[in-house]
Amino acid sequence: MDTYFSQGDYNSTGIQFFFALMLKPIAAFFERIVGNRILAIFTAYILAVTPLFLLLFFFFNQTRILFSGLPSFRERLNKVVESITDWTDQKFNLDAEATSTWVSERVLAASDISMDLVGDSLQSTTNVLVNMVLIALITYFLLLYRSSIKNFILVQVQEQNREALEQLLGKLQNLTKRYMIGQGLVIIVLGLLIGSGLWLIGVPYPFFWGFLAGFFEIVPYVGTSIGGLLPFFYMLMVSETLWQPFAVVGLYILVQQIEGNLISPNIMGQSIRINPLFIILGLFIGGIMWGIAGMILVLPILAISKEVFRSFEITEPFSYLMEDGLARNKDVFLQKFDQEKYRIFNFFFQERKP
């Protein structure tokens, strides 16, 4: 246990900056009202962060409770597979005994990992929330000293470049604020859309599953898949028919296409859109470095990185490489960046002046 916490604490120490950056607009808003920075930070935590953590804990804990009272996944899967094999035996005139033996040895053997694993994984959320205390503390001090930190960053460049740097910091701030607002709207839209679809299918607690999927969507690709698998497994164990669990999968696939092509582009804006290659790489690297927190923040981190790259001439091609719709904009590099100053080797091996 001690090893786990020390590992988690170490992995989380590099991510507080991004939490502070996203929380800063809320703290600044309350600071203008109350006139005291410390009180404004605490108010931001109480009114913004604490309810969010409690809501996330409720979702995870409620899911654990729903699954804990169900029969084992292996038992239910056995019944489902038996019904499928009976149908195939009758349809194709197969040997029922041979088919049953083959299924028992191969398909059911793969189900030794029961839904208890889901419960154990969801219980680990408590440990994640404990780790978030450290992040909350460091975020507090980053918010408290943000003016001094900003001035320290400004004096690292020459005076004639400080205005451009300050504009860049303002862009990053607006970007994170737009991401927070947009992500909140996406969660609400997905929750209502998925919840309504699950209600039509006949899934119990449809809007609970819908908004749970909306929160999972914060982690690109991975979160959406998890948000669909949980109600699928739930319906597989409680439903008397097979069409309902697979209808749940179809609903999530449909909603994912709508979300990716219609909802997010219009709500989040193109500035936050990153192509799937960099998102997948970011999920992989973020998961290794910072665990779940890194996977959650991969999209704003990539969006901020793209904005930073776009602000400097020598790194501008990298920002276009990260953009969504890269396949449609493949000629931009030959048309705009086919110059010596944009060569990647010049970036690393610049000629030293005597």
Asked if residue 324 lies in contact with residue 270, where contact means CB atoms within 8 angstroms, the answer is: yes
Predicted TM-score (pTM) of the model is 0.72
Roughly how many angstroms between the first and final C-alpha of the chain, as a whole number? 56
Q: For 199-235, what is each residue's pLDDT tens digit?
A: 999 888 888 898 888 888 888 877 777 888 888 888 8
**DSSP three-state, residue 71:** coil
- List strand residue ranges (DSSP E) for 141-272, in order: none
Tell me what the pLDDT averaged over the chain comes to: 76
Task: Measure the CA–CA gap between 112 and 74, rounded to whole angstroms.
Answer: 7
Q: For 148-201, what is each residue's pLDDT tens digit?
A: 988 998 888 888 888 888 888 888 888 888 888 888 888 899 999 999 999 999
Smallest Cα–Cα separation from 319: which of 251, 280, 273, 351? 273
At residue 199, the pLDDT reads: 94
Q: For 296-343, what is each residue's pLDDT tens digit?
A: 888 888 888 898 898 888 888 888 888 887 888 888 888 888 888 787
